[in-house]
Amino acid sequence: MSGLFDPVPFGGLTLPNRLVMSPMGRGRTTADGTPLPVMAEYYAQRAAAGLVISEATHPSPVAVGHAHSVRLHTAEQARAWAEVVDAVHRAGGRMYLQIMHAGRISHPDLHGETPVAPSAVQADGTARVFRGKPGYPMPRPMTADDIAATIEDFTRCARKATDIGFDGVEIHGANGYLLHQFLSSVTNVRDDEYGGDAKGRIRFAVEVARAVATEVGPERTGIRLSPGFPLNDMAEPDRAEVYPVLLDGLDELGLGHVHFVAGSDLGLVHELSRRWQRTVVVNAGTGPLDTDATLGAADRALADGAHLLSFGRQFLANPDLPERLRTRASLNAWNPRFFYEGGSQGYTDYPALAASAAG
Ligand SMILES: Cc1cc2nc3c(=O)[nH]c(=O)nc-3n(C[C@H](O)[C@H](O)[C@H](O)COP(=O)(O)O)c2cc1C
């Protein structure tokens, strides 16, 4: 086997295994995006992951993209998050905060403002607001002041996160949200220094990463990317030119990790993984409820250049996923009905092995 269950150094920590809990928004918050107490229980149950990465967390109100997605910009939100991180640490785990601005994948119902984006290019699709599913509106192109303020919001959020005990942060540069929108020639048609060729379109992502890394340390800062992933109405016709330039820009900053999303352009992910000097994290499981198939996929990803493997839905439904994979036990199935709502149902009630055997 590949050392999947051996300790590995990462960001000044020693991870007990190479399995990462992939970030997953679960919507267990108050209406203003403050974590509910049940979040501490949920994440602590999954503390056996080598690393837990939190769900996408918004650094300001206008960054919010979905009803009930979680935030970290007020003192109350920081207090509630501190309980989550403490619970994970008490359970023996390590946890990063994922920071996300949704850009055009948003709606005024969520924060009272016109969503912002690199350019006035409307997304096809419907927003998840508190009531109904309205279409995404036309976003407002960001001014230079908006850009500076947004970089400041990411930085302040990262500082708050590490102040309350998070072991590091992951910047969300994937899945069609704001940073990703800046990278694409379809969603970014700006004619200033943040648009145009690859060098212009990567500028915003690199500036966010530089500011965050300067604030909390590059080794504790990572970024999630999804080259070629069409989620949220994205298209990246010239991604093969853009991402190598982006990776070189991020590499120069000494960022600790880059995390690739399943569904990305796999050939490009392999090329980029070879290019990256430090830790590469890859979504490896992507679904099978079969332990051998999952371990096989994990081994292939390691052979293709990954150092850590992230699992989303398998961790969602199996709080003790590392133990199940190590012992080749069966896996619980997930229930999508409770992905984004449902209190403790479909959230903290997935049984661990001992509990399944007993009951
Ligand atoms: C309920 C749910 C919420 C998700 N929320 C996020 C998120 O907040 N941030 C993120 O980067 N990816 C998010 N994802 C994507 C996962 O991190 C992961 O990339 C995806 O589920 C594929 O991996 P899997 O096959 O192991 O589940 C989410 C996925 C699910 C199922």
To the query of whether residue 177 is one of the catalytic residues in this protein, the response is yes
Q: For residue 355, name the pLDDT band (cuts at 50, 70, 90).
A: low
Name the closest-CA residue to atom 4, ligand 1: 24
Nearest C-alpha neighbor of 83 from the set 182, 155, 152, 164: 164
Contact 174, 225 (CB under 8 A): yes
Distance 244 CA to ligand 1 centre (A): 24
Q: Give the model confidence (pLDDT) of 174-192 as tens digits.
A: 999 999 999 999 999 999 9
Angle at 357 between CA 354 and CA 359, to 5 degrees: 105
Q: Give the model confidence (pLDDT) of 226-262 as tens digits.
A: 999 999 999 999 999 999 999 999 999 999 999 999 9
Query: Rounded to an integer, what is the distance from CA 133 to the centroid of its chain?
Result: 24
DSSP H or E segment with residue 291? helix 291-303
Name the closest-CA residue to atom 15, ligand 1: 24
Q: Which atom of ligand 1 is nearest to the CA of 261?
A: 19
In the chain, DSSP assigns E strands to 8-10, 13-15, 19-21, 51-57, 95-99, 116-117, 140-141, 168-172, 221-225, 257-260, 279-283, 308-311
Question: Count of alpha carbons within 13 Å of 59, Cβ hemisphere only?
Answer: 26
Name the closest-CA residue to atom 25, ligand 1: 286
Burial 195-225 (b: 16+ CB within 10 A, else e): beebebbbbbbbbbbbbbbebbbbbbbbbbb
Question: What per-residue confidence (pLDDT) applies to 289?
Answer: 85
Out of 136, 177, 243, 350, pick the active-site residue. Answer: 177
Q: Is 57 close to ligand 1, i.e. is its CB under 6 Å away?
A: no
CA distance 115 to 255: 29
> What predicted TM-score, i.e. pTM, was given to this entire model?
0.98
Distance 235 CA to ligand 1 centre (A): 19
Q: Which two tokens stand for residue 178?
A: 């704001």
Question: What per-residue confidence (pLDDT) applies to 2?
Answer: 62
In 151-232, DSSP assigns E strands to 168-172, 221-225
Q: Which atom of ligand 1 is nearest to the CA of 259?
A: 11
Q: Domains in the chain, ordered, with CATH?
A: 8-358 (3.20.20.70)
Q: Which atom of ligand 1 is nearest to the CA of 170?
A: 11
Q: Give the model confidence (pLDDT) of 22-37 as tens digits.
A: 999 999 999 999 999 9
